[in-house]
Structure 1
Amino acid sequence: MKTLSGTLWGLVLAGLTAGAPAADLELEGNRLLVSGTLDGSAVKDFETHLAGGKVRTVVFENALGGSAEVAGDYARAIQAAGVNTEVKGQCQAACAYAFLAGKEHRFGRGFQVHALLIPMVGRPQPAELVTRWRGDEAQHTLAEFTTPAGGAAHGASDAAAAPAIAPEDGAKERWQPNQGVLFTSSPTLFGRVRNTFYCDGTQGRDLSRCELLPDADPYKLGVLTP
Structure 2
Amino acid sequence: MKPPSFSGWVLSLASCFACVFAAPIASAAELDLQGSRLVVSGMLDGTAIKEFTDQLGSGTVHTVVFEDSFGGTAEAAGAYADAIRASGVQTEIRGQCMAACAYAFLAGKTHRFGYGLQVNGILLPVASRPTAAELAIRWRGEEAHKTLADFTPTTTSAAKPVEASAPPVVKDNWQPDHGVLFTASPTLFGRIYNTYYCDGTQGRDFSKCERLADADPYKLGVLTP
TM superposition score normalised by structure 1: 0.86
What's the CA shift for 1:149? Answer: 5.5
Mark the runs of 5 or more structure 1 residues left unpaired by the alignment.
152-167
Q: For residue 190 of structure 1, what is the aligned residue in structure 2? A: 189
Among residues 5, 21, 29, which one is paired with 1:12 in the alignment? 21
The answer (yes or no) to whether the contact 1:146–1:171 under 8 Å persists in 2 is: no
Residue 205 (structure 2) pairs with residue 206 (structure 1): yes
- Cα distance in 1 for partners of 2:109, 2:177 equals 27
Residue 86 of structure 2 aligns with which residue? 80
Give aligned pairs, total.
204
Per the alignment, residue 160 of structure 1 pairs with: none
> How do residues 1-226 of structure 1 correspond to structure 2 at under 5 angstroms?
5-14=14-23, 18-148=24-154, 170-226=169-225
RMSD of aligned Cα (Å): 1.7
Q: Which one has a bigger Cα radius of gyration?
A: 2
- What TM-score do the two structures reach when normalised by structure 2? 0.86
Over 3 Å counting, the alpha-carbon distance change for 1:205 and 1:85 in structure 2 is closer
Question: C-alpha distance in 2, partners of 1:177/1:113?
Answer: 20
Of all paired residues, the percent bearing the same amino acid is: 61
Q: CA deviation at 1:169?
A: 5.5
Cα 1:203–1:187 change in 2 (3 A) is same
Q: Does the 8 A contact of 2:94 with 2:118 survive in 1? A: yes
Conserved 8 A contact 1:134-1:223: yes
CA deviation string 1:139-184 (max 9, x = no partner): 1110011151669xxxxxxxxxxxxxxxx65442212111100000
**Unmatched 5+ residue regions in structure 2?**
1-12, 158-166
- Name 2:10's counterpart in structure 1: none
